Structure 1
Amino acid sequence: MSPSDGQHIYLHAINARMLEHTYGSLEFGPKAITGKILEKEGGSMTEELRKRLRYLQHLPVTCQFEVAEIQLRQPLVKKETLEQFHGRYF
């Protein structure tokens, strides 16, 4: 998730796992998604965060970024995916 205005906003890992569950791989998923933001957290990249959030390793140290968890629904994700992630997602 990276808006056209250059902001560093990325999809939460739980959402990425849900999309992978539905599509097999993120590369086969939709190019753009929309959904209600459930939670958004901001931060500044540090060496420690780089080690923990490997998918954000490309960001330079001190770069400001946000991670957004969004509510994914059918038909974007399968019913089985929603059931699989129910305890961790809702």
Structure 2
Amino acid sequence: MFGIGHQLLNIGGFSGDGVDTVLDYFYFSVVSYTSLGLGDIFPTDHLRFLTGVEALTGLLLIAWSGAYLFAMMNRLWDWPPCAEPDDPEK
């Protein structure tokens, strides 16, 4: 996505370490998606907005995935009780 915005649409560029290969774009995208934001490569102009949208999307999808996994585990696994209730007859 960022390679298209940078090279074809001319809506911004990159500063910092050089972005020369497809793996550089992928690295920047993964860093943005996970909201890590290392800062060795950073966008300029309107690509900053796309980076913010990608970070927000990553945050929401990672949180949703965790919540979904928890709901499925809670629904499908038989969880043993942590303690037995007290017997009033004893």
**TM-score, normalising length: structure 1:** 0.23
TM-score, normalised by the number of residues in structure 2: 0.23
Pick the structure with more strand per residue: 1
Query: Relative to total residues, which structure has the larger helix share, 1 or 2?
Result: 2
Specify which structure has the bigger relative contact order, considering alpha-carbon pairs within 8 angstroms and separated by 6 or more residues.
Answer: 1
